[in-house]
Amino acid sequence: MRGAARLAVLLWALVLVSLGAKAEAPLEGRILFRSDLAPESTLRIELGEWAEKERAAVTALFAVLDENVPGVLARAGAAGAISLYRTAGPSPQHPAAAWARRRHEASVIFRDDFFRSGRPNRLGVDYSNWLFVHEVVHLADPVGQIARSREWRALVETRIARVKERLAARGLTVREAMFSYLDAPALEEGLPSVYAALSLHEALSEYAAAYLFGADFAFPEEIAEFLQERLFSAPSPAEITIATAYRKASRLNREGDAAGAEAVLGAALAQVPDFAMGYYLRGYVRLALQDYAGADRDWEEALRLIPESDGRERDDVETARAYLRERLSEGERAEPGR
Ligand SMILES: [Zn+2]
C-alpha cells in the first residue's frame, strides 16, 4: 500500500472538499473537538475556539488515516477519545504547528499556522499533513511500547548511531543538524529525516509519515513490514491493556488513590512483563504508598527496560531514586538507636 504516494494529494484534496461538509459519522466519539481541557488533562495552555472549517479539515485528515491505516487510529484511541485542542494564538514556547500529548491523555494541540497549507517539507510533502500523521503516530504508541521493542531497536538503532557519527564528524549534534535542515546524512542511512535520528519514538513517527506519503525516499523493506504488522494492523489486547492501564493509574494516583493505581498497574504488568513505563509509573505510586523498597525495585526494572536513548525517562528515574536514597538515609539518622 506504499503506492499511497497519492495520499499526499488526497489529504489536502479531501480537506478542501470537506470545507463545507459536516463531520464524518464513523469518527464520532473517537475524536473530540474541545474548547476546554479534558478532565484527565495535565496541560496548561490557553485554548481558543475551533472555526468550522478547521474542524472539517482535521476531521478529513483523521478520516484518511482511518481509511488507510486503521491500526494507527485504533491504537491512538484505545484508551478513550482523542482530545483535539485549538490554541488561543501562537504559543511561542511550542514552535511546532501541532503537537501531541500521550500517556496521561491522548490529545493533539493545533496552532494557527497548522491551517496555513502549501508549505512543502524536504520530501515535498505538505508540512501540516506530514506533521499531523507524525503526531497521531505518537498517540498510537502512548507508552512507547512499540518504539522501545527489541524489533524496532534492531531495525533503527544502528542507523541512528551512524547518522550521529556522521554529524559528529562535522561537529554537529542531531538538534543542530535539524535546525539547519541537514537531512542528507539521515537519508543516506535510510532514515526519512534528521528528525528521525532524535529518538526511537521520533523515528517511528517519521517513518510512518514517509510510508504514508510515499515520498521520494528509498524506504527500507524490513521497516515497511514492521510498520504493517505492528502499527497499521489492529492492536493486540495487550497493547490496549497497557495504554488503558497507564492512563487510568496515573489519574488514580493524581487523585490520591495510590492503592487503586498500584492494583491497575500490577494487573497490566502481570499480563505484559516488559511494560517499561508500567514499572516507571508504579515506582512513583509505591513511593506515594511509602513502599520504598518496592519503588526502588520498580525503577531498577524500568531502567533495565528503557533504552539509553530515552534520556528524559531515565533521568526521571535516576532523580527519583536519588531522592529515595536521601529520604531513606535521613530516616535512619532520624531514628537513633536502631
Ligand atoms: Zn515527534
User: Ligand 1 center to residue 296 CA distance, Å?
Assistant: 30
pLDDT score of 338: 43
Q: Does pTM surpass 0.85?
A: yes
Please, are residues 258 and 252 in contact by the beta-carbon 8 Å criterion? yes
The number of angstroms, rounded, from the C-alpha of 81 to the middle of its chain's C-alpha atoms is: 16
Q: What is the DSSP letter of 27?
A: G
pLDDT for res 217: 86
- Percent pLDDT > 70 in the chain is 87
Distance (Å, rounded) from C-alpha 238 to C-alpha 82?
20
Q: Whose grid coordinates read 524536504?
A: 122
CA neighbor of 280 nearest in space, from 235, 245, 256:
245
Interval between CA 133 and ligand 1 midpoint (Å): 10
C-alpha 325 to ligand 1 mean position (Å): 34
CB 131 within 8 A of CB 290: no
| 124 confidence band (pLDDT: 50, 70, 90) | confident
CB 73 within 8 A of CB 111: no
- State the distance from the centre of ligand 1 to the C-alpha of 127, rounded, in angstroms: 13
Q: pLDDT at residue 191 above 60?
A: yes
pLDDT of amino acid 112? 85
pLDDT above 80 (res 31):
yes
Query: Mean pLDDT throughout 263-268?
Result: 98
DSSP lists the bridge partners of residue 98 as 110
Domain limits, the chain = 1-234, 237-334
CB 90 within 8 A of CB 113: yes
Return the number of other C-beta atoms located less than 10 Å from residue 19's C-beta.
12
Cα gap 77→74, rounded to integer Å: 5
Q: Is 255 exposed, middle or buried (0-12, 13-18, 19+ CB in 10 A)?
A: exposed
Task: Provide φ and ψ at 168, rounded to 5°.
Answer: -60, -35
The grid cell for 213 is: 506519503
The Å distance, Cα 195 to ligand 1 centre, comes to: 8
CATH code of the domain occupying 237-334:
1.25.40.10
> Greater confidence, 164 or 20?
164
